[in-house]
Structure formats: C-alpha cells, structure tokens
Amino acid sequence: MALFEALVIAHVAAGVVGLTAFWGPIVTRKGAANHRKWGKAACYGFLGAGALAIAMALLSLYGLEDRHPEISDRALFDGLFGWMMLYLGVLTIGFVDYGLAVIRHARDRRALRGVRYQAVIAAVVISGAWCGYYGIRVEHPLMVLVASIGIVAMAIQQLYIWRRVDPPRTTYVGEHFRALIGMGISAYTAFMSVGLIRMVPEHVFNPAIWAGPSVVGLSLILYFTLKAKRAAAPKPSGARPHPQ
C-alpha cells in the first residue's frame, strides 16, 4: 500500500504541473518563448504523470492487494482503473512524443516512419484496442469511446506520416496542436480517475463525468481548427468592380 500511495502522490504532483502548464501554450503567442516554456513544462509533467499512471494501473491489476475493496464490481474496477488507466498513460505519452516529434522533424516527416516512433504509436493502438474490447465485455461505453478516440487519432497521425505527397509546409503546426490537445484530454481523464474514486465514489462509474475532458478537448480542437482555416483563407481584395 505504501508503494501505491507514493505513486499516487507523485502522479498528482506531476499531473498538477502538466495540467496547470497545459493552458500556457494555448493562450500565449504560438512560437514565442513563453509558448515554448509552458509547452515544455506541460509535456514533462504529462510524461511523468503518464508513466506513473501505467505503474498504478499495473499495481491495481496485478498487485498483491485489492485496491478499494468497497467496490463490488471488480471487473468494472479493473476496466476503468486498470486497463483504461494503463491505456490513458500510454496514450498520453504517445501524444507528447508525437507532438514534440512533428516539431523536431518539421522538415523531414519521413523520420517519423522509423521504428522508434512507430513503436510508440503501435503501443497506443494495441492498448487502446484491448481497452475497447474490455469495455465491450463489461458493457461500459466510456472505455469504448475513449479507446476509439485514441485509435482514430493514431490513424490520423499515420496519414500525415505516410502520405506520398508532401503536405503544405505548415501542416505540421496543426499536427502539433492536435497532438498536444489530445495529450490534455488523456491526461485530464487519467487524472480524474485518481480524484473521482476518493472524492465522489458514488459517481465513479458515471460515464457522463468521465466524458468531460473529451468534450472540452474536442471542442478546443474544433474551435482552433476553424480559427486557423479562417486565418489562412484568402482575404477579399476590397476592390470595387468597375461599372459596365
């Protein structure tokens, strides 16, 4: 129990750093020093929180003690706090890795086809597929929804990585943005699992509460995507047509 509680404390500390710094890159000017500073803090915080979430999930699944024995539905507990938390930890790391990689390899996206990056994407897909399958088994739609979001996100990343024709030069900016918003979605969802079971245990299996980060995150992606498209659209010349 001491080990698990120590992991929880470390997870909370890393998560607070990531969740606080996460909003810095969103509200600061893109590419500026403050944007990069806040972005690095968020990424490092989420990397730590993701790794610790994986460790806590494995302890919940395979540890010597049952976590929260007051919960009678152990299959559903293993699903949400074991397999889904493990998947969310892997997903968070995957989003951070890709979000930083597209900036690092902005001029050579083919570098993302290497084993090092493809292995991370494969780990996300495999853990997500198992999370979704387990969610079907225990009849919990949230696990299926969250798994589907991650798998679709990895498919979109692969379309960018493997497309034959080079995309417009600034396409990597959108990839970077979507990955780091996805990082926030997965991290907020995983972070909620630590607090929900302690603060509001009666709602711990309520999918409406768990779906909150996904709704907010996807709304942000949609908003900023539309905003970027409007900014990139050609401006009217303003010239008045000559009368015939």
With a cut of 70, say whether residue 22 has pLDDT above it.
yes
Burial of 164 (0-12, 13-18, 19+ CB in 10 A): exposed
Neighbours of 27 (CB within 10 A): 9
For the chain, what percent of residues have pLDDT higher than 90?
27
What are the structure tokens assigned to 47, written together? 């990397």
- 79-122: per-residue pLDDT in tens? 878 898 899 899 989 999 999 999 999 989 999 999 999 999 99
Residue 74 to residue 121: CA distance in whole angstroms: 30
Give the chain's largest Cα–Cα span: 87
The beta-strand segments (E) located in the chain are none
**Where is pLDDT greater, at 196 or 8?**
8
- 33-72: per-residue pLDDT in tens? 888 899 899 899 989 988 998 998 898 888 776 666 666 6
Q: What is the pTM of this model?
A: 0.79
Residue 69 to residue 67: CA distance in whole angstroms: 6
Average pLDDT, the chain: 80
For the chain, what percent of residues have pLDDT higher than 70?
73
The candidate with the shortest Cα–Cα distance to 122, out of 146, 155, 148, is 155
With a cut of 90, say whether residue 129 has pLDDT above it.
yes
- Please give the DSSP secondary-structure letter assigned to residue 32: S
